[in-house]
Amino acid sequence: MKITRESVLEEIIAAYPETVQVFISFGMPCFVCGEPAWGTVGENMDRHKVADPEKLLEELNKVTERREMT
């Protein structure tokens, strides 16, 4: 799965729960702590003013690539 700005947050977290830690490390809220996970990655990056959106996408895709390699 290639994660882009248009990817749906709920689908990413459901398929790759380990991405939650990546989102948190980039200043996005803790989705497992009750914050609703809805919308696209891009919408949430904008909403939470992620400083380096391209780096976030890169890190998210590393998670999916590691999983696919195993």
Share of the chain above pLDDT 90, in %: 66
In the structure, what pLDDT confidence band is assigned to residue 57 with cuts at 50, 70 and 90?
Answer: very high
Q: What are the tokens at 27?
A: 């200043």
Domain-embedded: residue 44 = yes
Domain-embedded: residue 4 = no
Strands (E) located in the chain: none
Domain total in the chain: 1
Domain interval for residue 40: 9-69
* Residue 24 per-residue DSSP state: H
Report whether pLDDT(30) > 90.
no
Domain-embedded: residue 43 = yes
* Average pLDDT estimate for 7-27: 93
Domain-embedded: residue 1 = no
Residue 31 vs residues 9, 16, 35, 64, 69: alpha-carbon distances, Å: 10, 13, 5, 18, 26
Taking the CA atoms of residue 24, residue 30, residue 31 and residue 34 in that order, the dihedral angle to the nearest 10 degrees is 180
Say what the pTM is: 0.87
pLDDT of amino acid 35: 64
